[in-house]
Amino acid sequence: MTRPRTRRPWGLYALMGVLVFQGLSGLGGGLVLVIDPTGATIGLPLEWLEGSPFRDFLVPGLVLLTLLGVGPLLVVVGLRRGHPWSWQASLVIGAMLLVWLAVEILVVGYQPKPPLQLLYGVVGILILALAFLPTVRRGPWRKPGPPSTRPRDHGGRRNARNHRSQRRLARVW
């Protein structure tokens, strides 16, 4: 049985697009760091890790690969299918990305060239901003409330007309 198609707001599509960007970036960067933990392939000096709990980029690469690579892509699948958990998970992804960047800046310092920290900071803020849009927050996963038991008012005119015709019928009988 297929579910009826619901029209999705533009903000939801934008959120899914930003999450796909983050997921693919996380997969790419994480894979490179797991394959080459020295960081030499992408030009990351091991000196940046001095004073940190890491000897090489393996653990940061695994975190990048799983939490900021696979995670956002799973959230996109959830958003696409309308799962209730996916909205909260998108908030978690946005917050995780910002925490990741804050820790990275504390450990290795801000690196202006290339401005990847700035770019992904904007991505994290964009994920949170799009997820908090009212149309995205309501999303297709929200079930409508129970139907109202109040009679519908059609502008008063129709009800008055119906009332008059009922009085006429009462006079006839």
Residue-wise pLDDT tens digits, 88-125: 999 999 999 999 999 999 988 898 888 999 999 999 99
Nearest partner of 79 among 9, 24, 4, judged by Cα: 9
* 168 band by pLDDT with thresholds 50, 70 and 90: low
Q: How far apart are the first and last CA of the chain?
A: 51
CB contact at 8 A, 128 and 95 = yes
Segments in 1-133 forming alpha helices (H): 10-35, 58-65, 71-81, 85-108, 116-131
pLDDT digits (tens, 9 = 90+) for 36-71: 999 999 988 999 898 889 999 999 999 999 999 999
Contacts of 141 (CB under 8 A, 6+ apart): 82, 83, 84, 86, 87
CA distance 151 to 30: 58
Task: Indicate if the pLDDT at residue 9 is higher than 90.
Answer: no
Nearest partner of 22 among 96, 72, 74, 59, judged by Cα: 72
| pTM confidence score | 0.76
The pLDDT > 90 percentage for the chain reads 62
The pLDDT > 70 percentage for the chain reads 77
Q: What is the pLDDT of residue 142?
A: 61
